Structure 1
Amino acid sequence: MVVTNLDDPTADLVIDELHDRGVPVVRFDSGDFPTTLSFAAHITPHGIQGSLTTPSRTADLTRVRSMYYRRPSGFAFPPLDEQDARFAITQARYGLGGVMASLPGCLYVNHPHRIGDAEFKPSGLAAAVSSGFHVPATLITSDPSEARSFISYYQSVIYKPLATPLYRLDGVSSTVAVRTVTADEIDDSVSGTAHLFQRCIDKTADVRVTVMGEQIFAVRIDSGLLDWRTDYEKLTYSVVELPPGATDSIRAYLKHFGLVFGAFDFAIDKVGQWWFLECNPSGQWAWLEPETGLPMTSAMANLLERKTT
């Protein structure tokens, strides 16, 4: 099973690879329920049994060997009024969502509940510390005085959002950029919600490390940008080796959250030290394959096929 939204080129690549191998695939977006997606699941002494049906496929829930859970859209019931829609969405989440999270013998890449756990930045940073990574000094606060003190102490500090929900300006999808912040920019509006401030690493490059089961792909990204995601045209790529101890820390981090896939971001400082920034349990990776020649699509297909040789 591949669970994602309609516009997902990364999933397209993996599905094409699996089709070429003769591996049967059922793709759907959970947000299509109940318009074009239906299911029936029985709770039995042998676990959940039943089927899920899309316009072109029917999946026997007992025969799903793997689930690639990517980026499905949310449940929506537009014909209903607000209160009834809220009830229906809750039933769908705990009904269909609960069934998808409980398939017997299924390998999840990644399990939706584990994705949810790992998406909390404070949890990820704490797990990174306990896994042995170097983590920049970080403050999460709603207290303006704490924020000013932190920035004054470390001098070079960045602000980054704790999450990135859909945000539109004049109808255009936008996001809050990672940027440096000074103490005199902090005012009482900080008390309105939670914010993340982090010591800025004086970096020479970034690294994206993508883990797919036992396979680890490390790509150095040179850009000269504070946040390389802001201008892909300026990026250059090179395959690199992990520093000593990094593999053990990566495995410890993934084990902590019960993940088999992770897209790790690191910053390399001027003395060559790698600093953990974050790990996205549903991160992108497909654009790196044509830039580096790394066999990433094949590795993901191998993982989903549960192919060990």
Structure 2
Amino acid sequence: MTVHIIGNEGDYHSVAVHWGLKKLGLHSHIWATPGYRQSQSMTMKYPKFDIVLGGVKLNKSDTVWIRRPLLPEIHPNTSDLDKKFCTNEYKEAFDGLLNSFEYVKLCANSYKAQRQMERKAMQLRIAFDSDFLIPKTIITNNQDEAKEFINQLSSSCIYKTFLPHIWDSEEKRTLNMTATTKINIDDLNDAFIAQSSPLILQEYIDKLHDVRVTVMGKVMIAVAIVNKNKLEAPPVDWRPKHNHTPMSIVCVTIPEKIKNKIILFMERAGLAFSCLDFSIDKMGEWWFLESNATGQFLWIEDDEKKLNMLSIFCSFLSSGDKNFNCMKINSSINLIEFEKSEEFINLQKTSKLGGQSFITKE
């Protein structure tokens, strides 16, 4: 079998997993996007299931991991008049290709399910239907509705965005990015705030800490993200780019009732892989926050070497089983060994980043 990674050769996760799969003796192939180069070629033939990506044939018995595809790349000689047409044609062909992958033995994840689960409103709906506790939430562009929501809360309120975004000002030499932050009613006194873009406002859970659960088939690995200084309150957003408080991770056991809800959530969402975020309140209750079907997971091993996330994920992809339930670990497949490899050296050469900055926590 072949594992097809729909990612790119400048992505740490894609290259690390590609290296790990080769260590397992499997054929692995990274293909980023259709384009004018020979390596970007794609062919789909019907009525047979016949797909070729960059010269590599896709079989029904193969595994596909839709990591983070790049946008199609049109030929540089395309005239300005034709660029929009060619871009749209490539996009339509690529969408058709991505939706065809669900017919292989294991697709992590179905493109249709992955796109659906990028929508935070859909995540909350399926989480509620799976019997998770979810914070009170409003999605609105109405100033009065937003202020009324905050006014009725008995706790603090947080604001989060639908998608990550970076404001890069060369003139001011500043770089700002979206983060989950607390918001109060006075922040909405200007109607423009809500009218300029819809808001996601959510009840803030008075938490002990947050928990990240990485789900691979039926395997679930949970870590609590805790302050190294136990006297400090947990941050609203624990991700390092938003939080300057030193954090550490601790392995935690998932309660059986939460495991069952996660299984139900994954089935209803149509996902084989995802990273789920929870807040644990002071009564020990688990509150669902969100799901990231293309989430990062190797940072967990980078922080805690005994959690061999790379080896487990490679075993998951190589199993070809969406119900994968085996914590099989190959001790030679780990980040320390990967970062000694030729693949990692090449990754450093082709990227502006170096070393551990490759691994972001999101």
TM-score for both structures, normalised by structure 2: 0.78
Separation in 1, partners of 2:166, 2:90:
21
> What letter corresponds to residue 305 of structure 1 in structure 2?
S
Please say which of residues 75-84 and 20-29 is displaced more in the overlay: 75-84
> Does residue 16 of structure 2 align to residue 13 of structure 1?
yes
The match for 2:92 is 94
> Could you tell me how far apart the structure 1 residues matched to 2:214 and 2:262 are?
10
Counterpart of 1:261 in structure 2 is 273
Q: Partner residue of 2:259?
A: 247
Q: Which residue of structure 2 lines up, in the alignment, with residue 85 of structure 1?
A: 83
Q: Are residues 1:218 and 2:215 paired?
A: no
Amino acid at match of 2:64: M
Find the partner of 1:302 among 290, 315, 320. Answer: 315
Equivalence for 1:207:
211
1:286 maps to which residue? 298
Which residue of 1 is the match for residue 163 of structure 2?
163
Dislocated runs of 4+, deviation >6 Å: none
Deviates more, 1:180-189 or 1:63-72: 63-72
Q: How far apart are the structure 2 equivalents of 1:141 and 1:303?
A: 39
| Alignment check: 8 A CA contact 2:9 2:30 kept | no
Q: Partner of 2:56 in structure 1?
A: 59
78-87 vs 240-249, greater mean Cα deviation: 78-87
3-state secondary structure, aligned to 1:245:
helix
Residue type matched to 1:203 in 2? K
Change (3 A) 1:287 1:233: farther
Cα displacement (A) at 1:156:
0.7
Deviation at 1:296, TM superposition (A): 1.7
How many residue pairs get matched?
A: 302
- Which of 246-255 and 161-170 deviates more? 161-170
Equivalent residues of 1:48, 1:102 under 8 A apart? no
Could you list the runs of 5+ residues in structure 1 that have no partner in the other structure? none
- TM-score, scaled to structure 1: 0.91
**Whole-angstrom CA distance in 2 between matches of 1:276 and 1:114:** 19
1:268–1:81 CA distance, 2 compared to 1 (3 A): farther
In structure 2, how many angstroms separate the alpha carbons of the residues matched to 1:111 and 1:169?
Answer: 37
Do the aligned partners of residues 41 and 172 (structure 1) sit closer, same or farther apart at CA in structure 2, a change above 3 Å counting? farther
What RMSD, in angstroms, separates the aligned Cα atoms of the two structures?
2.1
2:178 aligned to 171, 176, 180, which one? 176
Aligned ranges for residues 125-136 of structure 1 at < 5 Å? Answer: 125-136=124-135
Pairing 1:144-163 to 2, within 5 Å after superposition: 144-154=143-153, 155-163=155-163
The 1-side partners of 2:150 and 2:15 are apart by 44
CA distance in 1, matches of 2:82, 2:175: 28
**For the structure 1 residues 89 and 106, does the alpha-carbon distance in structure 2 shift closer, same or farther, using more than 3 Å as the test?**
farther
Segments of 5+ residues of structure 2 without an aligned counterpart are 228-233, 327-362
Query: 1:76·1:85 contact (CA, 8 Å) conserved in 2?
Result: no
* Secondary structure, aligned partner of 1:196: strand
**Structure 1, 235-244 or 94-103: larger mean CA deviation:** 94-103
